[in-house]
Structure 1
Amino acid sequence: MGEYEHLHHTFEPVFDGKSRILILGTFPSVKSRENEFYYGHPQNRFWKVLAAVTGADTPVGTEEKIRFLKDSKISIWDVIDSCDIIGSSDSSIRNVVPADLSVILEKADIRQIYANGGKAWQLYQKYLLPAAGRSCIKLPSTSPANAAFSLERLKEEWSVIKEHLEENDMPGSFRIQP
Structure 2
Amino acid sequence: MQLQTIVHTIPPLYNSESRVLLLGSIPSPKSREVGFFYGHPQNRFWRVLAAVLGEEVPVSIEDKRAMCLRHHVALWDTIAKCDIAGASDTSIRNAEPNDIGRLLRESKITRIFATGGKSAQLYCKLIEPKTGVPITQLPSTSPANAAWSLERLIEAYRVIL
TM range (shorter): over 0.9
Residue 90 of structure 1: SS of its match in structure 2? strand
User: Larger strand proportion, structure 1 or 2?
Assistant: 2
Larger radius of gyration: 1
Q: How many Å separate the matches in 1 of 2:44 and 2:52?
A: 12
Aligned mates of 2:12, 2:147 — CA distance in 1: 28
1:158 is aligned to 2:138: no
Q: How many Å apart are 1:64 and its aligned residue?
A: 1.0
Letter in 2 for 1:58: V
The CA distance in 1 between the partners of 2:13 and 2:51, in whole Å, is: 20
**1:114 paired to 2:113:** yes
- Over the residues paired in the alignment, what is the CA RMSD in angstroms? 0.7
Partner of residue 53, structure 1: 52
1:127-175 Cα shifts (integer Å, max 9, x gaps): 111011111001111111111100000000110111xxxxxxxxxxxxx
Q: Which residue of 2 aligns with 1:167?
A: none
In structure 1, how many angstroms separate the alpha carbons of the residues matched to 2:158 and 2:66? 20
Aligned residues: 161
Is residue 144 from structure 1 mapped to residue 153 from structure 2 by the alignment?
no
Structure 1 unpaired stretches of 5+: 163-178
Aligned mates of 1:55, 1:120 — CA distance in 2: 26
Offset of 1:103 from its aligned partner? 2.1
CA distance in 1, matches of 2:30, 2:4: 15
Partner secondary structure for residue 59 of structure 2: coil
**Percent of aligned pairs with the same amino acid:** 50
Letter of the 1:12 partner, please give it: P
Runs of 4+, deviation exceeding 2 Å: none
Q: Letter of the 1:110 partner, please give it.
A: I
Query: For residue 66 of structure 1, what is the amino acid of its counterpart?
Result: R
Secondary structure class of the residue paired with 1:84: strand
Which amino acid in the other structure matches residue 47 of structure 2? Answer: K
**Following the alignment from structure 1 to structure 2, what is the Cα–Cα distance between the partners of residues 103 and 57?**
31
